[in-house]
A = this chain, B = another copy of it.
Amino acid sequence: MTKQYYSYEDFRDDLKILTKKIDKPFDTIIGTSRGGLSMAQMLGEYYDIRQVYAINSIGYDDTTKLDEVRVFNIPDLNSSKSVIIVDDIVDSGDTILKALEILKAKFPQINFYVASIFYKKSAKIAPDWFVQEPKEWIEFFWSIDLKD
């Protein structure tokens, strides 16, 4: 599979597109670690939201996919009404599905949305908003730019 380098400029431009697509209000941003952290930070700055949190998951590495995804470090959402979960890519959808399951069970009064830059149509769940489908293997700038 060929690789597509995804630069900071690509990321910035795609986030601008994403902000034009997002059409529901939210007061809290949760970034999936690690993939959604930069995105969470930049969207938090753009929307002037300081309730920017992270969640973690394990069960996925570059070559194998485990049936069970564990999601942990669930933030305190007691002062949140509407939460957007952000991720760089919704690939299988396993992480987002598990995160939504846990978050909705723990905070049934909160609206949860999902936004990603990339979304594979084969995923088990679609984000509410995304920017593009990946055509190739995406080599994100955050994965390689420090390794030059």
Spell out A's residues near B (CB within 8 Å). 8, 12, 15-16, 19, 31, 33-35, 37-38, 40-46, 50-54, 56, 58, 72-73, 75-76, 142-148
Contact = CB atoms under 8 A, between A and B. Distances in A.
Contacts of A40: 33-34, 37
A148 B13 CA distance: 10
A35 B143 CA distance: 19
A129 to B, nearest CB: 15
B34 A54 contact: no
A45 B12 contact: no
Given A72-B76, A142-B41, A34 B50 contact: yes
Which 8 pairs between the two chains have the least Cβ-Cβ distance? Answer: A54-B54, A37-B41, A38-B38, A46-B146, A8-B8, A37-B37, A45-B143, A73-B75
Given A38-B37, A45-B34, A52-B37, A15 B73 contact: no
